């Protein structure tokens, strides 16, 4: 097996510390200012952008890159806050539809302000346009690598 060279280690560790510090900062900011973690914020965003401000649980999970279980727990919590309501799906009696309430939309608008400011301040404002283009490409490449990997895993399981 091939280990990482000294330079590779440096890149790797620098990348990981930057990413963890960045996401922790955003998470803390949202938690402090709006009382929700980033995962919940993203659920509200996804709902707010959906037609009718509502989505099937499974579609919501796909949009948020979340597991069904996680989403189920999360929506239960969001429902307690009256930011989301669940209703039955008319076309499929297994289904459940999560809908954003007006209160949920209001809290989202309020939370978005601080969140976007933080993102701008710590990402867009510290990078040059050239670096942003580069970051977009890098993200695409990493994402593509992981997606093909998932396909590989599926293949392996298919063999069993």
Residues found near DNA in the complex (CB under 7 A) = 24, 28, 31-32, 36-37, 39-40, 56-58, 61, 66-77, 86, 89, 92-97
Binding-site partner at residue 121 among DNA, a copy of itself, none, CB < 5 to 8 Å by type: a copy of itself
Binding a copy of itself (rule: CB under 8 A), the pick from 76, 89, 103, 123 is 123
113 binds, among DNA, a copy of itself, none (CB under 5 to 8 A by kind): a copy of itself
- Do residues 83 and 100 touch, judged by C-beta distance below 8 A? yes
Among 22, 54, 77, 96, binds a copy of itself (CB under 8 A): 22
CA geometry: angle 28, 29, 33, nearest 5 deg: 115
Instruction: Return the closest-CA partner of residue 68 out of 94, 92, 49, 50.
Output: 94
The window from 17-25, 68-76, 77-85, 89-97 that contacts a copy of itself (CB under 8 A) reads 17-25
Residue 84 contacts residue 100 (beta carbons within 8 Å)? yes
Which strands form 54-56's sheet, in the order they lie side by side? Answer: 54-56, 96-100, 84-88
């Amino acid at each position: 097996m091939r280990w990482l060279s000294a330079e590779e280690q440096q890149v790797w560790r620098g990348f990981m510390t930057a990413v963890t510090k960045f996401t922790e900062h955003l998470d803390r900011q949202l938690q402090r200012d709006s009382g929700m973690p980033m995962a919940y914020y993203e659920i509200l965003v996804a709902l707010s952008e959906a037609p009718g401000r509502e989505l099937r649980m499974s579609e919501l999970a796909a949009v948020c890159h979340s597991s069904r279980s996680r989403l189920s727990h999360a929506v239960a919590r969001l429902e307690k806050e009256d930011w989301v309501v669940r209703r039955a799906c008319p076309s499929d009696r297994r289904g459940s539809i999560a809908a954003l309430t007006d209160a949920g939309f209001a809290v989202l608008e309020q939370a978005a302000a601080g969140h976007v400011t933080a993102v701008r301040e710590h990402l867009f404002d510290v990078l040059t346009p050239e670096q942003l283009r580069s970051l977009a490409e890098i993200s695409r490449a990493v994402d593509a690598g992981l997606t093909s990997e998932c396909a590989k895993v599926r293949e392996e399981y298919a063999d069993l």
